[in-house]
Amino acid sequence: MTRDTSKLHYAETHEWVDVGDDGIATVGISAFAIEQLNDLVYMDLPEIGKQVQAGDEFGEVESVKAVSPLYSPVGGEIVEVHGDLPDNLDQLKDDPYDYGWIVKIKLGDEGLPESLMDLAAYEKQCSEAG
């Protein structure tokens, strides 16, 4: 299955979210963010069961030039983590929207925050950032 990036929601901090019919949100980081970080060397993932609010830091990704926090674009409970990802960060660059998912979060009652952007708004933000 290839994830349709035009149907995703994006956070200002470059995380994407795809919400399934079951209320489970799949979260990753955008191709733009991966390109900006460049050579990824490490990723720290959260524990399953952790409760997060939209905007909470849940992990970090490290490149040869920077350490960047990962922020949850939605609130809820982390129900799955992509445990193979930290050992295969090169594949994250090749496939950020399918292989590159980071966590799955069971949405809380608040649902999707209004601050999330559609693809057009996110692309505009990225182009303005350079």
Residues of the chain with pLDDT > 70: what percent?
98
Q: What is the pLDDT of residues 44-85, one digit of tens each?
A: 999 999 999 999 999 999 999 889 999 999 999 999 999 999
The answer, as to whether pTM is greater than 0.85, is yes
Concatenated DSSP letters of the chain = ----GGG-EE-TTSEEEEE-TTSEEEEEE-HHHHHHH-SEEEEE-PPTT-EE-TT-EEEEEEESS-EEEEE-SS-EEEEEE-TTGGG-HHHHHH-TTTTT--EEEEE-TT-S-TT-B-HHHHHHHHHHH-
Mean confidence (pLDDT) of the chain:
93
Give residue 1's pLDDT.
58
Q: Which of 24-28, 68-72, 91-95 has the lowest mean pLDDT?
A: 91-95
Give residue 104's pLDDT.
98
Full set of structural domains in the chain with CATH: 7-121 (2.40.50.100)
Mean pLDDT along residues 97-107: 96
